[in-house]
Amino acid sequence: MKHINYLQTVPSCRYDDHDREQEGNKNTKFVDLIIDGRSLYQMLKKYDRVPSLGWGSEEHQKQMIDYFLLNQLHAYLFYRYPILVCPWCGDEECGFISVFIEREEDLIIWRDFKLEPDNKSIDIGPFYFSWEDYKSAIINTYGAARTE
């Protein structure tokens, strides 16, 4: 039997108030993906990418949600989706981390994480989520990192 992971989403940012590295850098606000109590951002921080959910234009956020809910295929990645992106602009051309997402009945599976465009495998996952909990967590990312 597969271990069902628990996904939460929480607003976060690239640097805390006392982080010296924020000097001269963009302190992007985003929605972190917390898997079984562990931050995906922190697990993959060495790649200097941030989660793609919860920030950017309204159109971009809706598209990311559609990707993660498998309502829309990515234009050239198909069933792979940009899960962590450039912290400055979110543009895939700057490089990103992708994940293969599939649905098997009431399970969502994240597997085969890769550093793009190098197509280099990252040793993390797979993760299995209950569809209803997953869907709720992904939908709740909309606007969650908005700065007023």
Q: What is the pLDDT of residues 91-135, one digit of tens each?
A: 888 999 999 999 999 999 999 999 999 999 999 999 999 999 999
pLDDT value of residue 17:
60
CA-to-CA distance for 97 and 112, rounded, in angstroms?
Answer: 10
pLDDT value of residue 89:
85
Q: Give the up-direction half-sphere exposure of residue 5: CA atoms within 13 A in the CB hemisphere.
A: 21
Examine residue 146 and state whether it is found in any structural domain, yes or no: no
pLDDT value of residue 26:
65
* Domain assignment of residue 56, given as a range: 7-139
CA-to-CA distance for 84 and 41, rounded, in angstroms?
Answer: 8
Q: What is the pLDDT of residues 24-78, one digit of tens each?
A: 566 688 999 999 999 999 999 999 999 999 888 889 899 999 999 999 999 888 8
Examine residue 147 and state whether it is found in any structural domain, yes or no: no
Q: What is the pLDDT of residues 64-98, one digit of tens each?
A: 999 999 999 998 888 899 999 998 888 888 999 99
The total number of structural domains that make up the chain: 1
User: Average pLDDT over the chain, rounded to whole?
Assistant: 89
pLDDT value of residue 21:
60
Residue with tokens 């994480």: 113
Q: How confident is the model at residue 148 (pLDDT cuts 50, 70, 90)?
A: very low
CA-to-CA distance for 132 and 29, rounded, in angstroms?
Answer: 26
Examine residue 2 and state whether it is found in any structural domain, yes or no: no
pLDDT value of residue 91:
84
28 touches 13 (CB < 8 A) = yes
Residue 22 confidence (pLDDT) above 60: no
